[in-house]
Amino acid sequence: MKMELYLYEQTQDLFNFYYDKLAHEVTYGNHIGVIEYMSMLERMDEEKMQPWEARLMAEVNQLRLI
């Protein structure tokens, strides 16, 4: 149970940290929603990502390893 709570808190912190950039990109980048945008980032080459997108995906991948 402690590990699930830790993972949840880390995920919330990550989302809150990148919220403004995610909201701006979804609103003005012609994306349908956050889920579709994150799915697109999963398939995108890292060279084509903005620096903050690459950091976000690296952190998401680290959380997946937990």
Number of domains observed in the structure of the chain: 1
Its pTM stands at: 0.86
Residue 52, domain extent: 2-65
Sign (positive/negative) of CA torsion 27, 40, 56, 8?
A: positive
- Rounded to the nearest 10 degrees, the angle between the axes of helix 51-65 and helix 2-28 is 160
C-alpha to C-alpha distance for 56 and 4, rounded to whole angstroms: 20
> Diameter of the chain by CA atoms?
39
Give per-residue pLDDT as tens, 24-35: 999 999 899 999
Give per-residue pLDDT as tens, 2-53: 889 999 999 999 999 999 999 999 999 989 999 999 999 999 999 999 999 9
Q: What share of the chain is helix, strand, coil (3-state, %, to 5)?
A: 85, 0, 15
